């Protein structure tokens, strides 16, 4: 009798956890349109770091431990898209002027050699 009740309780607990997870996904529309997902990601980026900080503060207060202050991560002001685009434009413009430049430099080299051999 008791093992049966216990197994039923276990099944109900597992079912409620799984059902809660499915309901959370449905309620937050995580598997819905892409703009909703983007909004959820932005909201998570705003909410999660302060929540983590407050949780760590709470744990420190309750346990008496002092968490070491980590240095702030370095901020990179590197825009990949802009540098990639400008890199592509530079490479393509260099390739387009390469034949005329090669011709020009070879003429100058030839003139220089002619002057030197005079």
Partner 1 sequence: MSDSELGRKWDRCMADTVVKIGTGFGLGLVFSLTFFKRRMWPLAFGSGMGLGMAYSNCQHDFQAPYLLHGKYVKEQEQ
Which segment (16-24, 50-58, 63-71, 101-109) binds partner 1 by CB under 8 A? 16-24
Does residue 102 touch partner 1 according to CB under 8 A?
Answer: no
Does residue 8 touch partner 1 according to CB under 8 A?
Answer: no
Does residue 31 touch partner 1 according to CB under 8 A?
Answer: yes
Residue of 8, 9, 12, 41 interacting with partner 1 (CB under 8 A): 41
Q: In Å, what is the CA distance from 112 to each residue of 23, 94, 99, 101, 115? A: 80, 25, 20, 16, 5
Query: Which distant-in-sequence residues (6+ apart) come within 8 Å of 92 by Cβ?
Result: none
Residue whose CB is less far from partner 1, 7 or 38: 38
Residue whose CB is less far from partner 1, 38 or 54: 38
Q: How far apart are CA 58 and CA 64, in angstroms?
A: 10
Q: In Å, what is the CA distance from 74 to each residue of 45, 70, 71? A: 18, 12, 9
Query: Which distant-in-sequence residues (6+ apart) come within 8 Å of 28 by Cβ?
Result: 40
Residue of 8, 9, 12, 18 interacting with partner 1 (CB under 8 A): 18
Query: Which distant-in-sequence residues (6+ apart) come within 8 Å of 71 by Cβ?
Result: none
Residue whose CB is less far from partner 1, 45 or 61: 45
Q: What is the binding site for partner 1 (CB under 8 A)?
A: 14-15, 17-18, 21-22, 25, 30-31, 33-35, 37-38, 40-41, 81
């Amino acid at each position: 009798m008791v093992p049966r009740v216990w197994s039923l309780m276990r099944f109900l607990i597992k079912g409620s956890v799984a059902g809660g997870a499915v309901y959370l996904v449905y309620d937050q529309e995580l598997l819905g349109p892409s703009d909703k997902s983007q909004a959820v990601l932005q909201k998570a980026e705003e909410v999660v770091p302060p929540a983590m900080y407050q949780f760590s503060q709470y744990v420190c207060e309750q346990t008496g431990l002092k968490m070491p202050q980590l240095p702030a991560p370095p901020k990179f002001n590197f825009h990949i898209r802009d540098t990639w685009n400008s890199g592509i434009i530079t490479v393509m413009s260099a390739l387009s002027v390469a034949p005329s430049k090669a011709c020009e430099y070879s003429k100058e080299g030839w003139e220089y050699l002619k002057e030197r051999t005079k």
